Amino acid sequence: MIRFADIPVGSGGETRCSRCHGESGEVSYRPAAEIAAEIAMVCELWDELPGPNVALTGADPFGHPDLPALVGAAVEAGCRRLCLATDAVALRSPQNAGGSLMAGVRHLRWTILGGTPGVHDVLVGTPGALDLSVEGVRSFLSIASEETIPVSVTAVVPVCRHNVHDLPAAAGLAVDAGADRVLLRLDDGGLDLPAALPWIVAACDTGVVNGVWVEVEGVPFCLLPGYDLHLADAVRQRPGAKPPVCSECALDAVCGGAPAGASADQLATLAPPVSAERLSVSVLRARGMGER
Amino acid sequence: MATPPLRCAMLALNSPGYRSLALGYLRAYAQADRRLAGRVAFETLDLDTDVDPWWVAWRVLGLEPDVLAISVTCWNARSVYEVCRIVAAVRPECAIVLGGPEVGPAAEEVLAAHPEVGVVVRGEGELTFADLLAELAGGGKAWRVDGITLRRSGSIVATPDRALVANLDDLPSPYLTGVLIPVDGGAYLETFRGCPHRCAYCFEGKGYGRIRSFSDERIAAEIEFVATAPGVRTFSFIDPVFNLTGERLRMLASLMSPYVANGMRLHTIEVDIERIDDEAAELLRSAGVASVETGPQTIGADALEACHRPFRADRFAAGIDALRRAGISCECDLIVGLPGDDVYDFLAGLRFVLRLDPGKIQSSTLHVLPGTELWERAAELGLEFDREPSHEVIATPGVGFRDLRRAEVFASSLQSAYRARV
Ligand code: B12
Ligand code: SF4
């Protein structure tokens, strides 16, 4: 519900599944002056409350030589919530963690590919990466708590066929590390969605019973009966109403939209004789995400 | 040989940082009662809710009380009942007297469920408690006291209701009498009793019906005492509506302003936001108000109607804007689980307050509180709730059990993200 403007500080080196995306490209950063000007413009034009809110994304901002100046520029421009999208490894250093907090960083978008080294480390291709990353988040949170600075950490998990079975563990790890939200973001057109759903559902439940919210991005609400609240804002809708994503679906003309809390059986009656499983194939095809 | 005084231990389990104003009033009144002079000795235990009930019982039993009087609220009731069981087992001769918003409206039910409790005081307690102590100290008949429910000859009986105190100034001030020592941030004053609204989920008005106010002189004396107490930089008022009328707000602002000039601030003052314009916001600022607390609790039309709450989105937003211009931060409260709301109404409420950027957003789950309209009508409205304190709602016709828990977690994550700002 709180909107951020994403401003890339560079490209390459993002935490993504190496099996899906291959080697991460060369890291390059944009000039600080250019980024600062963009931040200033976003803040100036920001027209809804609460805000302005800016997230520095793309290549890890901690690799940018002028990060302190960029954070300063954001605060100067009136940014209320400044977020860094990072693997958090750099935050292990108390100077980085304390420095960014003192300068005004309040949000982290912390990307992990799984909840266990067997998945995360293997997929990023760096042994020990997950432990270092968790250490970074903990260091940020512990300094924030010592200084009584309110902060918020979202663990972002790009979901693909290689990590889907590790989603509940990822939610558990995010809870352990102190995140207050988990975002499962579909990142694989070839994912067997019906087979993935039980893992997604288990991750949602793992979060809820531990008091951490799990949000799912990229799954149409007809596929997650009973879990519609977990769907990202753009998709979550009043029962019966259809979100924009439906307009891309092959069944849009015949489907009346899913009632909240509908079971798979009830869904099958929405556009008879389509079963929940065939529905998902159709949705995926319609959204250009390929067939299973 | 003179009879030793009746030893009366008074116990409250407060939110951390708070002291019980109720015990303050009760003791200040009883101490001033000539009938009790030299016949009752008081000791107050103002403890925090997180103290283990066994250690609370340890402290109570150390006082060897003849009477144990406890102030009960929904958040401390479970611990209180445990303390009662332990104390009664060790010291069966001690009379256990309960009072407060949690037990008064459900007196019979409480006595039936807790055999170790002897008496429940219903409603306003000062006069009733003093009368009861007078009877107990004289070995007299508790059933002669109005406003209580008690055990008599094996059954539970209620004595007639007690009339409300006609002139609140007749109640000695807990602060001015030295019974309560003001502490920074935890001291709070009451300038009137009752509430002009009748929201179906709320027990602030306590069924008192009409509004009774302390005199301006009494209010001025309490403000002066608390505002000049050593170490006190902030305090609060518990009045359900601080801006009850424009005239009253002006009076409070003028009483507060000399201390505000010296840096004194008021925190979490409850206001009717829809009546705040620039002039009212300015008065609040000159009264030293740093932050206020307000609704909307819900913006769902059905729930607003079921709870008898007026709500005008434009006036609400205008109130927040006026406060912002006056530099006052606002906490907007929402309740999840109200009858008539579904979970999307709750989300719409969150979105509404978020777009106003009030300063703080606080969501809580409905407590179906004894004495409220929702308590009475729960079955009719289909509200499933925990009969045991703190009476949280379990499921409603609009929101199932799992979605209620989800909504709680969602809201708490949103609150953290909102709070995290420069
Ligand atoms: C200050 C306050 C708080 C403080 C804590 C105070 C403390 N000591 O710990 C804070 C802000 C933290 C707070 C929080 C909450 N509060 Co609160 N709070 C109040 C408030 C505004 C004032 C209490 C007070 O001092 N009143 C003044 C005294 C004089 O009145 P009284 O307590 O009713 O006492 C009189 C009689 O009841 C009786 N009496 C009381 N005790 C005893 C004991 C004996 C032996 C006798 C004989 C008589 C007697 O005589 C007294 C004098 O006439 C009341 C509303 C109100 N206006 O009373 C709500 C109220 C007590 N809170 C309430 C609630 C629901 C909450 C929350 C659960 C809200 C939420 N959704 O989160 C939280 C829970 C906190 C927690 N610990 O978990 C309800 C309680 C209902 C119930 N059944 O217990 C009330 C009544 C408000 C309401 N909306 O209905 N609260
Ligand atoms: S089947 Fe298609 S149109 Fe129907 S709810 Fe799902 S995505 Fe929307």
ipTM of predicted assembly, 2 dp: 0.90
Residue A181 — φ and ψ, nearest 5°? Answer: -155, 150
Ligand 1 centroid to residue B206 C-alpha, Å = 10
B368 residue type, one letter: V
Integer angstrom CA distances of residue A97 from A47, A107, A140: 31, 12, 5
Residue of B145, B257, B193 lying closest to B21 (CA atoms): B193
Q: Do A152 and B416 touch (CB under 8 A)?
A: yes
Contacts A77 to B, Cβ<8 Å? none
Q: What is the largest CA-CA distance in chain B?
A: 73
B384's enclosing H/E stretch is strand B384-385
* Sign, Cα dihedral of B212, B217, B221, B223: positive
Rg value, chain B, Cα:
22
A interface test, pick of B353, B409, B415 with most A CB neighbours within 10 Å:
B409
Q: Is B236 contained in some domain?
A: yes
In terms of domains, do B271 and B362 share one? yes
Q: Do A50 and B357 touch (CB under 8 A)?
A: yes
Q: What is the CATH number of the domain that holds B291?
A: 3.20.20.70
What is the per-residue DSSP string for B26-86?
HHHHHHH-GGGTTTEEEEEEEEETTS-HHHHHHHHHHT--SEEEEE--TTTHHHHHHHHHH
Strand duo B393-395 + B384-385: pairing = antiparallel
A220 contacts A246 by C-beta, under 8 angstroms: yes
* Ligand 2 first shell, C-beta below 6 A: A 220, 222, 242, 246, 249, 251-252, 255, 257-258, 279, 283
Three-state DSSP class for residue B298: coil
The pLDDT tens digits of the residues spanning B355-404 come to 999 999 999 999 999 999 999 999 999 999 999 999 999 999 999 999 99
In terms of domains, do B194 and B325 share one? yes
Residue of A230, A220, A227 lying closest to A286 (CA atoms): A220
Ligand 1 centroid to residue B370 C-alpha, Å = 12
Three-state DSSP class for residue B256: helix
CA gap B241, B125 in Å, rounded: 22
CA gap B313, B210 in Å, rounded: 28
Q: Is B382 contained in some domain?
A: yes
What is the per-residue DSSP string for B92-129?
TTSEEEEESTTTGGGHHHHHHH-TT--EEE-S--HHHH
Q: Is B112 contained in some domain?
A: yes
B302's enclosing H/E stretch is helix B301-306
CA distance A59 to chain B (A): 23
CA gap A12, B36 in Å, rounded: 81
A276 contacts A215 by C-beta, under 8 angstroms: no
B241 residue type, one letter: V
In terms of domains, do B268 and B383 share one? yes
In terms of domains, do B325 and B288 share one? yes
Chain B CA closest to residue A78:
B422
Q: Is B166 contained in some domain?
A: no
In terms of domains, do B147 and B286 share one? no
Residue A266 — φ and ψ, nearest 5°? Answer: -65, -40
Q: Is B241 contained in some domain?
A: yes
A148 part of contact set with chain B, CB < 8 Å: no
CA gap A271, A274 in Å, rounded: 6
Contacts A239 to B, Cβ<8 Å? 344
Residue A89 — φ and ψ, nearest 5°? Answer: -60, -40
Tokens 């006026």 belong to residue:
B322
> What tokens were used for B213?
């106010």
B150's enclosing H/E stretch is strand B148-152
Cβ neighbors of B323 (< 8 A, separation 6 or more) are: B273, B276, B281, B284, B292, B329, B330, B358
B405's enclosing H/E stretch is helix B401-419
Cβ neighbors of B96 (< 8 A, separation 6 or more) are: B67, B68, B70, B84, B87, B88, B116, B117, B118, B119
Contacts B355 to A, Cβ<8 Å? 48-50
Q: What is the CATH number of the domain that holds B72?
A: 3.40.50.280
Q: How many domains is chain B built from? A: 2
Q: Is B177 contained in some domain?
A: no
3-state secondary structure chain A: CCCCEEEECEECCCCCCHHHHCCCCCCEECCHHHHHHHHHHHHHHCCCCCCCEEEEECCCHHHCCCHHHHHHHHHHCCCCEEEEEECCHHHHCHHHHHHHHHHCEEEEEEECCCCCHHHHHHHHCCCCHHHHHHHHHHHHHHHHHHCCCCCEEEEEEEECCCCHHHHHHHHHHHHHHCCCEEEEEECCCCCCHHHHHHHHHHHHHHHHHCCCEEEEECCCHHHCCCCHHHECCCCCCCCCCCCHHHHHCCCCCCCCCCCCCCCHHHHHCCCCCCCHHHHHHHHHHHCCCCCC
In terms of domains, do B238 and B357 share one? yes
CA gap B21, B31 in Å, rounded: 15
Cβ neighbors of A72 (< 8 A, separation 6 or more) are: A103, A104
CA gap B400, B384 in Å, rounded: 10
Q: What is the pLDDT of residue A244?
A: 59
Tokens 């809201």 belong to residue:
B411
Q: Is B174 contained in some domain?
A: no
Contacts B332 to A, Cβ<8 Å? none
Q: What is the pLDDT of residue A121?
A: 97
In terms of domains, do B257 and B152 share one? no
* Sign, Cα dihedral of A210, A215, A221, A222: negative
Q: Which of B123, B158, B193 represents a domain boundary (last residue)?
A: B158
Q: What is the pLDDT of residue A277?
A: 47
In terms of domains, do B276 and B358 share one? yes
Three-state DSSP class for residue B9: strand
Ligand 2 centroid to residue A36 C-alpha, Å = 41
pLDDT less than 50: residues of chain A? 234-237, 260-262, 266-279, 286-292
In terms of domains, do B253 and B325 share one? yes
Triad B250, B274, B249: Cα angle to 5°: 10
B336's enclosing H/E stretch is strand B329-336
Q: Write out chain B's pLDDT in tens, 422 residues.
A: 678 899 999 999 999 989 999 999 999 999 999 999 999 999 999 999 999 999 999 999 999 999 999 999 999 999 999 999 999 999 999 999 999 999 999 999 999 999 999 999 999 999 999 999 999 999 888 999 999 999 999 999 999 999 999 999 999 999 999 999 999 999 999 999 999 999 999 999 888 878 999 999 999 999 999 999 999 999 999 999 999 999 999 999 999 999 999 999 999 999 999 999 999 999 999 999 999 999 999 999 999 999 999 999 999 999 999 999 999 999 999 999 999 999 889 999 999 999 999 999 999 999 999 999 999 999 999 999 999 999 999 999 999 999 999 999 999 999 999 999 99
Residue A130 backbone zone (phi > 0: left; psi -120 to 50: alpha; other: beta):
alpha
Which residue's CA is minimally distant from atom 7 of ligand 2? A246
Q: Is B164 contained in some domain?
A: no
B406 part of contact set with chain A, CB < 8 Å: yes
Where are chain A's structural domains? 5-217, 236-292
Residue of B37, B10, B203, B195 lying closest to B94 (CA atoms): B10
What is the domain range of residue B210? 182-419
> What tokens were used for B411?
């809201």
Among 1.25.40.10, 3.40.50.300, 3.20.20.70, 1.10.10.60, what is the CATH number of A5-217?
Answer: 3.20.20.70
B213 contacts B262 by C-beta, under 8 angstroms: no
B49 contacts B13 by C-beta, under 8 angstroms: yes
